[in-house]
Structure 1
Amino acid sequence: MTTPSLELQIQTLPDSPGVYQYYDKEEKILYVGKAKNLKKRVSSYFNKIHDTAKTNVLVKKIVTIKHIVVPTESDALLLENNLIKTLQPRYNVLLRDDKSYPWICIKKEPFSRIFPTRKMVKDGSEYFGPYTSFKTVTTILDLIKELYPLRTCNFDLSATNIENHKFKVCLEYHIGNCKGPCEGYESLDNYQKQVDAIREILKGNFKESMKDFKKLMNDLASKMHFEEAQKVKEKIETLEKYQSRSTIVNPKITNIDVFSIVSDESAAYVNFLQIAHGSIIRSHTLEIKKKLDESDEELLELAIIELRERFQLLSKEIIVPFEVEVGSSIKVTVPQLGDKKQILELSIRNAKFYRIEQLKQLQIVDPDRHTNRIMVQMQKDLRLQVEPRHIECFDNSNIQGTNPVAACVVFKDAKPSKKDYRHFNIKTVEGPNDFASMEEVVFRRYKRMLDEQQPLPQLIIIDGGKGQLSSALKSIDELGLRGKIAIIGIAKRLEELFYPGDSVPLYLDKKSETLKVIQQLRNEAHRFGITFHRDKRSKAALNSSIEAIAGIGEKTMLVLIQHFKSVKRLKLASEKEISDVVGASKAKKITDFYKTTNL
């Protein structure tokens, strides 16, 4: 049986791969697990009775669920391994060091060896990984072996030893798997070029290797060495099929803290990742309620100081999305690309998920508070005297000047109120004239509301620029509503907001909820108007087509309109289908007419 608090935590988990952590009432870690889909996996713990008593006891103790989002399922597996070793939760199997994940090592030595290992030695060698299984490592090394003939011996191939002929070539040389650097048959420069190419492949960069192999293939083919060219072609195909490794953190990145921030109008969310020995060992997201118009820079600086003190962080370098002032003793890195940039993006992703999760919880637990928050924000952003609880948005629709119509959609408490939507046929305007049409529908809408003593909206939005806004204002002035209802225009292209008497448009933050509500209103008005316009145009076309048929009267025309809806459907209908609706005699007149005319 889950508590309301746990149900809420589960309900707002993302459908993404990641690692989940269970804590008890004393905030002690109970369990760490991985998931392809966090919400489904965590939910499965609470919707059944488990086979083992230990698992049932674990579930009863869970009070808090935390999670870290990662790009792939393999990343989740690696992160789970790191966290279990670091946190040692009570209900997890202890992972010992001899069960560490494998790496691929490029040894720092002349004629570098490339081999798999579970241990990292700090001797300047390069390590790539970790990989989720030795099978993956074997596949990669087999690929490298197919592409590049490297040595597999562990001899000390110093220049002196080679010059003194200390070593002899082995079987690998004779079967073509090695070019014999031990006897000086291959130069160090040529060998290291191959190592450089392999390094790029391990990083996921195939461009240079593909380029070199294709050039070699073409050169061999041009010299009529087709067998050798075919072997190079096979290497190219092997390289194309290979999928690059999956890793969380480059082992060179160690003892670094990562901080990122995502913010909205009322709060900021700062995510923190702690990196130690090439692994993520901790993730935490801090929510900061805004009091004034604090910038992201100010809030991130405050959060970094708070989190470093709270978790007693001693790292000398931090990774952040922009420059911050946190003291001269800490190196601040703002990465633009590479592994550090990927870690920063992972942190930002976790901050975004946390924000979405908090907003979902607020909507579920207290929908009125969620609505009130948006209303207060819209009043502030749009510089209104009152909260825009009732908003109406107008849009004109006429295609090539035909069948001009307008639509009015209504939002109440930032949600569509579809029962209050209205369509308008333009009555007093001849031809396509958006300005005059807008003036007409705004006057008709609010004249009727005044006559019927209906409550007026707090905000009117006109879909269009300054011209449409000026036309709507004429009707507002004529009805004596200037100053009683706020009215703004939104230009479609740049999301500019125009106010009466102000030639300079207002630009809202692209990620603000206020702009999202306005865009939703505008899009809904456009959709509603276009639908009505298409229906009217289809009926008009059907009317004009049917009226041209001799012997078909008004009643028959109405029956056909109701049944077939459009000229196209009527023209495609068989004589039998039409006769079922209006009788055989009239059906023959209709089918004969369409056979001899282009209408």
Structure 2
Amino acid sequence: MSTTDEPAGFDAKSFLRNLTEEPGVYRMIGADDKVLYVGKAKNLKRRVSSYFQRTLSSPRIAMMVAQIVRVDVTSTRSEAEALILENNLIKSLAPRYNILFRDDKTYPYIELSGDAFPRLAYHRGAFTKGARYFGPFPNAYAVRESIHLLQKTFQLRTCENSVFQNRSRPCLLNQIKRCTGPCVGLIDSADYAADVRLASRFLDGQASEVIDDLTGRMHAASDRLAFEEAAACRDQVRVLQAVLHRQFVDSRKDEDVDILAAVEEDGLTCINIAMIRGGRHLGDRPQFPSGATVSGALDGLLAFVEQHYAEHPIPARILVNLDPQSVKETLAEISERPQGVVSPRYAAEKAWMEMAEKNAHLAIQGRARDAGRIEQRLDALRDALDLAEAPHRIECFDISHTMGEATVASCVVCEAGAMKRSEYRRYNIEGITGGDDFAAMRQVLERRYGKVAAGEGVCPDLILIDGGKGQVSAAAAILAEVGLESVSMVGVAKGEGRKAGLETLIFPDGREGLALGGASSALHLIIEIRNEAHRFAITGHRARRGKARIGSKLDDIPGVGPARRRNLLAAFGGLDGVRNATVEDLCRADGISRALAEQIYSALH
């Protein structure tokens, strides 16, 4: 615990006296109007007051409070609005004292759609009104394993609506007993809804009740001599029992538990979250704080709890390895209901925590090894290219087209030795002669670095160009035009037979090309970034080319005007759906006769 005096220059008592108790966002402002910290609260007065007590939870908070010269607040209509505003402000202002867990919002869920025959699906991102969501799960594997189990047991559909609405005969999943075939009427809505209810109860952690229900249905079917139905229920019970019995740490209870292990080692802090859902151990996931210096494992744990449970459901119990009372107090800011936060007490709970702590230590060791390897590669790149210092931000460009058609340029970003996918960009190239890669490179660099020269965006330390002397010369000319000729740049020319390791590096100043050789760690890093730029460009090009080709083909078919084209796209959920439709499927669209459907099918195939 740290003790702090009220910072000179800021009258906290007067400020707090008039502060609203509405939900909202607060910003701690330091000298020179620098934003120190951004936070949200369901009660602004209570939350901001907690920073000006005589004792504070950590040295980091005490240090921040000592620098506050004013506090700005924005009242919102709800906690949800406060959360959105907080996220936006943290991204735009990058406050020094905010602890960020960048991967924390990417947990996957299982979705049961709100359709008449609900669809079982893997889901990431914002929730859709009317659908039900179960999770979060620690990783994609846990979701897909659970969906496979639910398919095998309850046989719910997983197909897209565009496919479901246009089926004329059962699909392969129905034939292998993974779907009951609601698309072609093989099961009525009442029976399908019963299966949905059982699946929902299982996902809600009521596996024992589901097994009891199925067992009762099995006996009832047997009593009325419906032996096929009884056998189906028996198989469902066996599958569920087998799943529950094969867990390597079995709670013997149908419960939802999160295990949070906070570990500090070698200057790194890791929060490892393991998830138990319905008594099943689904795996774990390490989280590393970034964006601020964390003063200990407890500091990181409390920051993780506040951010994670503001966006994800709070389970019935949370096991922690540090200070349960502090975690409870943090959760009280998020939820009105009391939370079951405890230290491990029983043998199974201690086994869970021991495993979570071990995995946290392993994650820290892996992160340290990766950091050393990344630093070595960046230093090797600095030496190979004779740079003043190792490049922190590297941007790489590539051009993709098919004989000049649908040209797309890509820009990928490598920061601190790791690919930063959130900053990847694609550019549709227009107004050039088809196949002119030099003109395409000039256009994309002008669009990208014209903004940097105008003060928008981040200037890289090194630019990589996938190409030889022509592309590099075009790139150098554009950089000179926008005033960024001082930025280091190098071209990556493919080697003989396009073999990896034989690439030659091309310099804009006319120096002789440099071949580092396949053993060079600097070249390995360059090739990884170049390959990622190529992959990103070619996937964008293929998507653009496919849309252009099918769109133009639809326009060229006699009898398909704008209205019928719109009807087709709406009926099949887009261009890919039209291409994949059969003649019978096409006939069901508004205004499409069989003769026209056959004509459309022939044109697209």
Q: Same fold (TM over 0.5)?
A: no
Q: What TM bracket, shorter-length normalisation? A: 0.3 to 0.5
TM-score when scaled to structure 1?
0.37
TM-score when scaled to structure 2?
0.36
When Rg is computed on C-alpha atoms for both structures, the one with the higher figure is 1
Structure of greater relative contact order (alpha carbons < 8 Å, 6+ residues apart): 2
